[in-house]
Amino acid sequence: MLETEKGSTAAINPFEVALKQLDEAAKLIKLDKGLQEVLANPKRVLTVSLPIRMDNGETQVFTGFRSQHNDARGPYKGGIRYHPQVTIEEVKALSMWMTWKCAIADIPYGGGKGGVICNPKEMSEGELERLTRRYAYAIADIIGPHTDIPAPDVYTGGKEMAWIMDTYSALKGNYVQPEIITGKPIPIGGSLGRNEATGRGLAFTVREAAKKLKVDMKNTTMAVEGFGNAGQFASQFVENQGAKLIAASDSRGGIYNKNGIDVAELRKHKEKTGSVVGFSGANSISNEELLETECTILIPAALENQITAKNASRIKAKIVAEAANGPTTPEADEVLHNNKILVIPDILANGGGVTVSYFEWLQNLRRDYWTEEEVNERLDRNITKAFLDVYHTSEKYGIDMRKASTVLAVNRVVEAIKIRGLWP
């Protein structure tokens, strides 16, 4: 059972969802059973036990994971999530989705993911640093600049990436190795544009989807669930294209104003108060109501399993652009597809983050840094191509965008596995 922050329980195992998606894609492309089995299992899943000295002098033991799904196309790549509800099944699912995401974005990486079961909101800076460094130490032997390159995810960011880089560098040769991790602060080798990349990439996919649906962005409204890193930048860049934000939420609640909410003002409010709640001029709404808001573009940017069989038929948006990973269940997908809602699936819509992570890694390896314009231009080119590749796959097979993205990705990964062959 997966307990969500909303307090409801959902018997949805994200890894089963990922396996079901793989199975559907495998059937469509008539994939060999053995190869499907290869893709159904992560190559390695490590569980680590992390004893941490807490500020009160007591020792607390945390559990962490790193799942390495597939490296046929390149080193494992994927974020590290800190959340009380992290499970091994979730981390495995996320690592598989990373394999697909990197293949769709056509960057030379495989898929990995990490997570630690903890509540960073209830931990001091010192406790967080000790936990992060201990986790880095515990996974140090299976990560590396050419084997597995982590990045931020829910409730981790530049600060944690810097601690991991520092710990890894100290442990492995004691020289600075920025290429071990991406999503770093700029002064230690982060890329310009990385922080905004997921939201910016998502906005490019929304722009392309609007063109296909012949929707004028100037007449659109949007609702954003989860006004965090991905959600805030996504809203900002979609707003720049002319859309009006009418609803936003975070773990503390949601707000609604049909006349529009200024994204920059809301970001300031959230920075000051820690939440979107209480933004002046807006009414409060529940997260459930936000998802069902009458709007053109719905951006789920929080956690998994938010659009389910229970609420899918009440979703009124024309475009659902998934900033979060796994926000829609397979049952809900069917309903959205039947209702002619264009879903830009997570592994396509939020691929901007990992794409700029790849640019960051390239810059680190060469010790040669790009301008922000260069980063954004290359991101636009990559993501637009990825959107069109998926769109054409969906036309070719007569399937929805999610199935098409998995089909495209599985085809690319299988091609690499076949060319490399099995050893021994």
Listing DSSP states for 154-167 in one string gives TT--HHHHHHHHHH
By C-alpha distance, which of 78, 50, 74 is closest to 66?
Answer: 78
Considering only residues 175 to 234 of the shown chain, the ones binding ligand NAD according to CB under 6 A are: 198, 225-231
CB of 254 to ligand NAD, least distance (A): 7
Query: Both tokens of residue 157?
Result: 């960011």
Q: Which is nearer to ligand NAD, 148 or 225 (CB)?
A: 225
Q: Which stretch binds ligand NAD (CB under 6 A): 1-9, 142-150, 169-177, 337-345?
A: 1-9
Q: Which stretch binds ligand NAD (CB under 6 A): 246-254, 336-344, 386-394, 413-421?
A: 246-254
**What span, in angstroms and rounded, lies between the C-alpha atoms of 361 and 148?**
12
Neighbours of 169 (CB within 10 A): 17
Q: Is 353 in the site for ligand NAD (CB under 6 A)?
A: yes
If binding means CB under 6 A, how many residues of this protein chain bind ligand NAD?
A: 26
Beta bridge partners of 254: 249, 285
Q: Which is nearer to ligand NAD, 139 or 302 (CB)?
A: 302
Q: Is 17 in the site for ligand NAD (CB under 6 A)?
A: no
Q: Is 153 in the site for ligand NAD (CB under 6 A)?
A: yes
Which residue is catalytic, options 92, 101, 113, 403? 113
Q: Which stretch binds ligand NAD (CB under 6 A): 84-92, 318-326, 367-375, 383-391?
A: 318-326
Q: Is 325 in the site for ligand NAD (CB under 6 A)?
A: yes
- What is the x/- site pattern for ligand NAD, positions 393-412, by CB under 6 A? --------------------
Listing DSSP states for 222-283 in one string gives EEEE--SHHHHHHHHHHHHTT-EEEEEEETTEEEE-TT---HHHHHHHHHHHSSSTT-TT-E
Cβ–Cβ < 8 Å for 146, 364: no
Phi, psi of 339 (to 5 degrees): -85, 10
Q: Which is nearer to ligand NAD, 36 or 191 (CB)?
A: 191
Q: Is 301 in the site for ligand NAD (CB under 6 A)?
A: yes
Number of H helices, E strands in the chain: 14, 14
By C-alpha distance, which of 164, 142, 127, 200 is closest to 355?
Answer: 200
Q: Is 112 in the site for ligand NAD (CB under 6 A)?
A: no
Closest chain position to ligand NAD (CB): 228
Cβ–Cβ < 8 Å for 240, 203: yes
Q: Is 5 in the site for ligand NAD (CB under 6 A)?
A: yes
CB of 227 to ligand NAD, least distance (A): 5
- What is the x/- site pattern for ligand NAD, positions 46-85, by CB under 6 A? ----------------------------------------
**What span, in angstroms and rounded, lies between the C-alpha atoms of 375 and 355?**
10
DSSP class of 124: -
Q: Which is nearer to ligand NAD, 75 or 152 (CB)?
A: 152
Phi, psi of 367 (to 5 degrees): 50, 45
Q: Is 267 in the site for ligand NAD (CB under 6 A)?
A: no
Give one word for 174, left, alpha or beta, with left for phi > 0 and alpha for psi -120 to 50.
Answer: left
**What span, in angstroms and rounded, lies between the C-alpha atoms of 274 and 266?**
11
Judged by CB under 6 A, which of 71, 196, 239, 250 binds ligand NAD?
250
Which residues are CB-neighbours of 201 under 8 A, at least 6 positions away? 349, 350, 351, 352, 353, 355, 356, 379, 383
Residue carrying the six token digits 């989705």: 97
By C-alpha distance, which of 75, 73, 90, 89 is closest to 150?
Answer: 75
Q: Which is nearer to ligand NAD, 28 or 301 (CB)?
A: 301
Q: Is 360 in the site for ligand NAD (CB under 6 A)?
A: no
| The residue type at 376 | N
CB of 75 to ligand NAD, least distance (A): 18
Q: Is 6 in the site for ligand NAD (CB under 6 A)?
A: yes
CB of 158 to ligand NAD, least distance (A): 11
CB of 344 to ligand NAD, least distance (A): 13
Judged by CB under 6 A, which of 67, 68, 95, 350 binds ligand NAD?
350
Q: Can 272 be counted among the known catalytic residues?
A: no
Judged by CB under 6 A, which of 302, 307, 341, 347 binds ligand NAD?
302
By C-alpha distance, which of 104, 35, 113, 115 is closest to 76?
Answer: 113
CB of 321 to ligand NAD, least distance (A): 12
Query: Both tokens of residue 70?
Result: 């597939």
| The residue type at 86 | V
Mind telling me the catalytic residues?
Answer: 113
- Binding residues for ligand NAD (CB under 6 A): 4-6, 153-155, 198, 225-231, 249-251, 287, 301-303, 323-325, 350, 353
